[in-house]
Structure 1
Amino acid sequence: MKKWKRISSIFLIAMILCTLTASNIYADEKGEKDPQQVLTVAFPETKGLQEVNEDGTYGGLVYDWLMEIAKYTGWKYEFVTGDVETMLSGMMEGKYDLMGGMFYQKEYESFFEYPKYAVGSSYCLLISRENDPEVKSFDISTLNGKTIGVFQNAKSKIERLKVFLESNQLNCKIKKYKDVKAYESCLDNGEADLMLSSDANLENLDAAYDVCAKFTAESYYIVTKAGSSEICSELSQAIEKIYEADPNMALELYDKYVSNTYTNSIHFSESDRNYIKESGTVRVAIIKEGYPLTYRQNKTLKGIVPDVLNLIQKQTGLKFEYVYANSYSDALGKIKDGKADIMGSYLNDAYQADIQQVVLTKKYAQLNTVIIRNRQSELSDKNLTIAVPEDMAVPNGEQNHKVAFYPTFADCLKAIDAGDADYMEIPSALLESLFTSNYYANVTPSAAGNEQMQISMALSSDFDVNLYSILNKAINSLSKKEIEGIIQQNLISSQISKPNLKAMLYSHIGAVIVFLIAFIILLVLVFFTIGRLSLKSKAMALKLEKAEEMAKAKSDFLSRMSHEIRTPMNAIIGLTSLTKKMDGTPEDVGSNLNKIDTSAKFLLSLVNDILDMSKLQSDKMVIQSEPFSLNKLIRQIEDIFTLQAEEKSLELSFSKAWSKDGFIGDETRLAQVLVNLLSNACKFTPEGGTIQCSVEEKSRNQTHASLEFRVKDTGIGIHEDDLERIFGSFEQLNQNEYRVQGTGLGLAISSNLVRLMGGSLEVSSRPGTGSDFFFTLDLPLADDIQTGCKNTNHMKSGKRLSEMHFLLAEDNDLNAEIAISLLELEGAQVDWASDGQKAVEMFKDSQQGYYQAILMDVQMPIMNGLDASFEIRRLNRKDAKKVAIIAMTANSFREDREKALAAGMDRFIAKPFEADQLIETLLACTTEGTE
């Protein structure tokens, strides 16, 4: 058995007051009344009386009284919370002005001042152990001879107990306890049969205890500290005025905060237990669709009746099955005909039950009613017709009117709507359901019903007494909280019938009209919009088609221009390279050749910049991801710019700081960015200046490294207003002291390339001090990369391609002559085919493995290089699949490279090319082929 929970603080206040001695009482009489007077209130937290909510706000019976009193006195309060003992001690010492929940005792007047009026009353309870066979709830005769445990300091309650026992001629033993804990345990340890408690403990009453008797205890007050007679007088006057305005104030607050209902265990007799064991299933007649009493939700039976019966089944062990009826009258008929044992929801009173020859149980719920009338009827008229469901009683006070019976409440409502009846009284919850599911144009609510509709269970006149007894005991055991919860759960709007289309339309007729007008307007707008969109779509299609044609024309133009410019440039660079290699070339001629070579390469850089910018603008630029050596790349760039820096007397330094070489990325584009930045630095840095190029590893993990690239110079710098503009296309700043050539695309291309590689090119600069360009890239790590040349024997010898045979397919005689000369200077033997068809035939006629590589131009007459490569790869000979085919073309777009690879080519060299580039590519291909 669970331990009895702690008694209420009201009870403790009285008991502790009896045991505590008074300390100094000091209170000063106050002068004139202060309308904004602030009083300190001792506020020990006590369930129902003085409550502190989770959010820090206050509540309870005493709090509500104080708030009402303040309306008459103008007082303000400062609440002090704590345990009961501390609050009492502080009140006795004069620390607080007010304290509520205090019982009256004459000897207490030396500690406190009591007002004339109490703010409520309490009740005493006698409680017993649950299922004690010798004690029955509220059967006073079973209390005779029992031992009652009481707390000895609760003298007032003990006196009232004695009066109760004497008036009921009960001879009981009263056992007093000095210790609270011993008192609380008296039932558990069997020392007492009953325990004297308080109604304030109903909320804490354990399920293991039953209430056996209840009688009036004593009143409680809001008291002031001793010596504060003026405050006490104001308090009395305020309470008097409150009672004059609302005589039921105390009772209302008691009902609001102090539970006055309780649930006892059920005591079944021997015959009850036998019936439960042998009865089998009890048949219950219910109305099939009778919201909120019974209804279906998602094919599951719901309602107040099934929920109540479920509780009864748990408490008694009875088993129920449902017999469905179409109406109230039909359900009543089923218990009379013996088709059901009980009717789940009987709505008439005992008088009507007697007429209908049925027996009622105790009511278990009640519903509010409302009067509904026809819009043309007035309830004050005399000749009215009231609609009533069949077998239901005419509401009290309505018997003088004509009565018309209909099968169901819904039929009654239809009759009123049709004008066949004038009004009816109906449960408000059922009305809400009917109004939602249908539309009644001529029906309107008129007033609240005369009384609540009581819900009971009904048995036939030849009922089984045991069943009746069990049902009544079970219904009595249901708590008010349980019943209210069931009713509330079944009245929520989500369980009301879904409205039909007619109800929806009529209940929102204004919205329907607005919707129809809006729909018509919308249709007009839609057709108009569709027409305009169709015209716009056609116009946009034409523009898109034109834009695509322009883009294609632009691409074709750039491709042709690239080819046409690169072809003669290939000849210029190739012949220049050949002439420079000749022995005995005069120094001035060599100087002129170097200038020609530089100018040709500058022209090539202009073409490359324009092509790169075109790719970037059309989103055709693709960043490659291939392993490369950053150490090798920086060394190559250092070789390129060292001589250039020396010619301008610039101090050029390179700083490299990373833990391990080998990265994955686009080596060519990264080199292009660094070359652009260094080229600008050389252009705009005066003689004697310094240029620093640094690469620093910022962080590294198992898969990636973060590298910062920086080019810093002491050049002329850039004005702050120009910092944003320098990354635009075709932008060149007006640096009067430096006349430089270029397209103004270098920084724009570099910025876009860095962005595509995942970084952001930034600059810090001031005029006269120099510029600092920097960006950071996160590069995946690659395995160690061999940075040297694989074919070391060839690199060491002067004839790097000696004893090698190559097939050259080139339709331009001059380009063919240059290529043959360059290769023969390296010791190679070259066979020349002037078109793709000849190249295929010459390879087909050659011995197996004769050619180490094929140099294939792409644009040639008769058969182009792509088709020729495809045909060679198709030949039925072993070396046709392995021989290296290198594309040599002036078309350098990405799609050109993809087409070459798709045709079976291995490498791609864009014209114009340098001799070393061609030789290194051939060495790489032939070395790979022999490994």
Structure 2
Amino acid sequence: LASFAHDYAWADKHKMIMTNPYLNLPVSAVVREHHEDIHKDSLTFVGIDGYYLTEKYVLPHKNYIIVGSVEECVNAIREKKADIAFIPTYSAEKLLQKPQNARLFYYSLADIPYKISFALDENCDPLLFSIINKAVNSLTEIEINNAIYNNTLYLKEPDTIQIFLYKHFFLITILFFTVLIFIIFLAFLASINFRRRRANEALSKANHELQKAFSYAEQANRAKTDFLSRISHEIRTPIHIITGMTDLSFDKISDQDFIFDALKKISSASDYLLALVNDVLDMSRIERGKTVINNDSFFISSVMDTIASLFEGKTKDKGIQLLIRTNKIENDYVYGDREHIEQVLINLLDNALKYTEKGKIEVTVFEEKRASVFSLFTFVVKDTGQGIESERLRSIWEPFEKGKTKIKTKGSFGLGLSIVKSLVHLMGGTVQVESTPNEGSAFLFSVPLKILQATKEKRRKSDSIGEIEEMYNKEKILVVEDNDLNADIVRMMLERKNLTVDIVHDGKEAVDRLLETEAAYYNLVLMDIRMPVMDGREATKLIRNSDREDLKTIPIVAMSADAFAEEIKLAQSVGMNEYLTKPVRSESLYAMVYLFLRGDKKASL
């Protein structure tokens, strides 16, 4: 008869039978420092030879040592021979009271059960087993607690000389100890009061943090609901125009004037919808930290030329004068993020154009004193529009913030200025606004740019290609597009320029068609990215890795709705020369075709 951990599997293995458990011992981990995962293999475990806890929780690990007693386990932890030991909590409490173990600590492990029962040989007298089991079951909680009290934590240590002297001198020095006890009592009360105050402060702080977190969650939920409400309204408005004018056009198909006017309104609504989608995607990228700053060399004057070409027609149609001034800069060739500078200027000019009915819009760039090889360039977009009230100057940078105006604006959904602020800050710059109601506004943003020595400009030729009126001589273009309607639209656009168009519907068909045709049969490939069977990137890899020299250099232009920078880099990495983002506008398509059929055939991303 002996006491063992209550484990029927162990009993069966050793041909034993077990009584019901009579004691549930709490188990603790004794350590020198806290471990998040107490079962990871990098730790060294220590256990007692033949101990249930050793066999169950120590031996399965890779690193362990075996000792002869609980006290040796604690010594191994203290002497850094091991990192962790599993022992009963009562033993841990007793052993860690010793001064040499003061730097060790333990914490209880609720997930490790350790119940104690009696075990007998399986061939023992059944009556004897029954009697013992009934005796175990009859033990009361008080009896068990008394056993724990007398044999574990509360086991009295033998008196030492110091304790003996202390007991006898107490009678002689009673006054001193009375005062001492009184002081200790006061200190104890102060300690309790201090702990209570600390606990109250911690509870108050936790409640405050909880209230703040709850408030933030409510604000986030309201913001999400408000965003969905606003974006739903902004999306449905142009869709209503598109579907409404389309339905009316079917009824008045013979009225050319009405059809022309309906197409203009449909085009305007689709532009608005596309701008909204682009701005929402920009905001999403910015908020998720996915916006990448791409620095490269460029000319400030080239940026201003691009802005002028984009807005000359729009301002002329509205009867507004557009002035572009670059004479305030000394250095034209710089190193920075041209793409985002252009995007900020476009958003600011769009905003100025919306709220200006007459007068002019000026775009000026200034260069301030250089520090080493850097200059601070300040771009100013000034208009003679309706202006902004002083109390709204701070809120205009918030998403979906629109000014109160009697001017009918299209595309005004309130994301442009929020994107401007975020992009300028990402480029390490600042942005501000000055405005007088009924007189106009001036938006200024400054960005630091590195000054470069003037050399031949490195820029994509497609940036400087204006409206293309070129007609071609039946050059052959392969369009790879799985959507029939998209393919037909591109085909009709290209056939207007006297180009021959073949259409295939996935990447595999494209590879097969190019390999089947004679060398240099096609002049250009327009490749969709996401397609069934084989996508555009995989098809481009196979085309570039083919044995035919003409396929290694044939221009391949990606044509996809994926507008993220990561997708463009992936397209570049597999050998695509350029990237057109859907929806593809005719002027962008013609500029790209001109670039490769009449311009620089080696242009690339």
Q: TM-score, normalised by structure 1?
A: 0.36
Instruction: Say whether the 8 Å CA contact 1:712–1:770 is kept in structure 2.
Output: yes
Q: CA deviation at 1:899?
A: 3.5
Q: 1:849 to 1:660 in 2, by over 3 A?
A: farther
Instruction: Say whether the 8 Å CA contact 1:699–1:707 is kept in structure 2.
Output: no
Q: CA deviation at 1:810?
A: 0.5
What letter corresponds to residue 897 of structure 1 in structure 2? I
Match of residue 625, structure 1, among 284, 295, 311 = 295
2:384 paired residue number:
714
Q: CA deviation at 1:752?
A: 1.0
Q: 1:739 to 1:817 in 2, by over 3 A?
A: closer
2:495 paired residue number:
824
Q: Which has the higher helix share?
A: 2
What letter corresponds to residue 773 of structure 1 in structure 2? F
**Cα distance between partner residues in 2 of 1:925 and 1:737:** 43
1:650 paired residue number:
320
Q: 1:683 to 1:905 in 2, by over 3 A?
A: same
Q: 1:788 to 1:872 in 2, by over 3 A?
A: closer
Q: CA deviation at 1:643?
A: 3.0
Structure 1 segment 112-261 matched on structure 2, within 5 A:
none
Structure whose alpha-carbon radius of gyration is higher: 1
Structure 1 segment 633-782 matched on structure 2, within 5 A:
633-657=303-327, 658-687=329-358, 689-700=359-370, 703-736=373-406, 738=408, 741-782=411-452
Match of residue 843, structure 1, among 514, 519, 526 = 514
**Cα distance between partner residues in 2 of 1:801 and 1:839:** 23
In the alignment, structure 2 segments of 5+ residues that lack a partner are 1-164, 166-182, 214-219, 246-254
For residues 30-57 of structure 1, what are the alpha-carbon distances to aligned partners after superposition, in whole Å with 9 as ceiling and x for unaligned? xxxxxxxxxxxxxxxxxxxxxxxxxxxx
Aligned-partner SS, 1:735: coil
Q: CA deviation at 1:726?
A: 0.3
1:892 paired residue number:
563
**Cα distance between partner residues in 2 of 1:738 and 1:770:** 17
**Cα distance between partner residues in 2 of 1:796 and 1:753:** 29
For residues 257-284 of structure 1, what are the alpha-carbon distances to aligned partners after superposition, in whole Å with 9 as ceiling and x for unaligned? xxxxxxxxxxxxxxxxxxxxxxxxxxxx
1:876 paired residue number:
547
Q: 1:641 to 1:889 in 2, by over 3 A?
A: same
1:913 paired residue number:
584
Q: CA deviation at 1:865?
A: 1.7
Q: 1:820 to 1:740 in 2, by over 3 A?
A: closer
Q: CA deviation at 1:797?
A: 9.3
Structure 1 segment 578-593 matched on structure 2, within 5 A:
593=263
What letter corresponds to residue 592 of structure 2 in structure 1? T
Q: 1:788 to 1:621 in 2, by over 3 A?
A: closer
Instruction: Say whether the 8 Å CA contact 1:629–1:785 is kept in structure 2.
Output: no
Q: 1:851 to 1:627 in 2, by over 3 A?
A: farther
Q: 1:647 to 1:706 in 2, by over 3 A?
A: same
**Cα distance between partner residues in 2 of 1:597 and 1:840:** 36
**Cα distance between partner residues in 2 of 1:857 and 1:718:** 45
Q: 1:628 to 1:917 in 2, by over 3 A?
A: farther
Q: 1:638 to 1:884 in 2, by over 3 A?
A: same
Instruction: Say whether the 8 Å CA contact 1:799–1:827 is kept in structure 2.
Output: no
Identity in percent: 32
**Cα distance between partner residues in 2 of 1:664 and 1:638:** 21
Q: How many residues align?
A: 389
Q: CA deviation at 1:594?
A: 4.1
Q: 1:848 to 1:781 in 2, by over 3 A?
A: farther
1:109 paired residue number:
none
**Cα distance between partner residues in 1 of 2:516 and 2:369:** 58
Q: 1:729 to 1:714 in 2, by over 3 A?
A: same
Q: CA deviation at 1:829?
A: 3.3
Instruction: Say whether the 8 Å CA contact 1:661–1:784 is kept in structure 2.
Output: no
**Cα distance between partner residues in 1 of 2:574 and 2:461:** 27
Q: 1:859 to 1:826 in 2, by over 3 A?
A: same
Instruction: Say whether the 8 Å CA contact 1:650–1:690 is kept in structure 2.
Output: yes
**Cα distance between partner residues in 1 of 2:394 and 2:460:** 43
**Cα distance between partner residues in 1 of 2:587 and 2:600:** 18
Aligned-partner SS, 1:763: strand
Match of residue 538, structure 2, among 867, 876, 894 = 867
In the alignment, structure 1 segments of 5+ residues that lack a partner are 1-418, 420-509, 541-546, 573-584
What letter corresponds to residue 436 of structure 2 in structure 1? R
**Cα distance between partner residues in 2 of 1:749 and 1:795:** 27
Q: 1:871 to 1:665 in 2, by over 3 A?
A: same
What letter corresponds to residue 317 of structure 2 in structure 1? E
Q: 1:724 to 1:825 in 2, by over 3 A?
A: same
Q: 1:824 to 1:676 in 2, by over 3 A?
A: same
What letter corresponds to residue 494 of structure 2 in structure 1? L
Instruction: Say whether the 8 Å CA contact 2:355–2:409 is kept in structure 1.
Output: no
For residues 155-200 of structure 1, what are the alpha-carbon distances to aligned partners after superposition, in whole Å with 9 as ceiling and x for unaligned? xxxxxxxxxxxxxxxxxxxxxxxxxxxxxxxxxxxxxxxxxxxxxx
Q: 1:741 to 1:897 in 2, by over 3 A?
A: closer
Q: 1:861 to 1:790 in 2, by over 3 A?
A: closer
Instruction: Say whether the 8 Å CA contact 1:799–1:825 is kept in structure 2.
Output: no
**Cα distance between partner residues in 2 of 1:810 and 1:664:** 37
Aligned-partner SS, 1:699: coil
2:481 paired residue number:
810
For residues 826-845 of structure 1, what are the alpha-carbon distances to aligned partners after superposition, in whole Å with 9 as ceiling and x for unaligned? 34433321111101111222
Q: CA deviation at 1:761?
A: 1.4
Aligned-partner SS, 2:391: helix
Aligned-partner SS, 1:761: strand
Instruction: Say whether the 8 Å CA contact 2:298–2:457 is kept in structure 1.
Output: no
**Cα distance between partner residues in 1 of 2:314 and 2:551:** 45
CA RMSD between the two structures: 5.0
Q: CA deviation at 1:590?
A: 5.4
For residues 608-636 of structure 1, what are the alpha-carbon distances to aligned partners after superposition, in whole Å with 9 as ceiling and x for unaligned? 11111111111111122123332222123
What letter corresponds to residue 863 of structure 1 in structure 2? M
Q: TM-score, normalised by structure 2?
A: 0.54
Instruction: Say whether the 8 Å CA contact 1:789–1:795 is kept in structure 2.
Output: no
What letter corresponds to residue 887 of structure 1 in structure 2? A
2:157 paired residue number:
none
Aligned-partner SS, 2:272: helix
What letter corresponds to residue 692 of structure 1 in structure 2? E
Q: CA deviation at 1:880?
A: 4.0
Aligned-partner SS, 1:682: helix
Aligned-partner SS, 1:817: helix
Q: 1:706 to 1:841 in 2, by over 3 A?
A: same
**Cα distance between partner residues in 2 of 1:770 and 1:930:** 46
Q: 1:839 to 1:619 in 2, by over 3 A?
A: same
**Cα distance between partner residues in 1 of 2:475 and 2:370:** 45
Instruction: Say whether the 8 Å CA contact 1:705–1:780 is kept in structure 2.
Output: yes
1:414 paired residue number:
none
Instruction: Say whether the 8 Å CA contact 1:886–1:907 is kept in structure 2.
Output: yes
Instruction: Say whether the 8 Å CA contact 2:479–2:502 is kept in structure 1.
Output: yes
**Cα distance between partner residues in 1 of 2:468 and 2:439:** 48
Q: 1:601 to 1:739 in 2, by over 3 A?
A: closer
What letter corresponds to residue 840 of structure 1 in structure 2? V
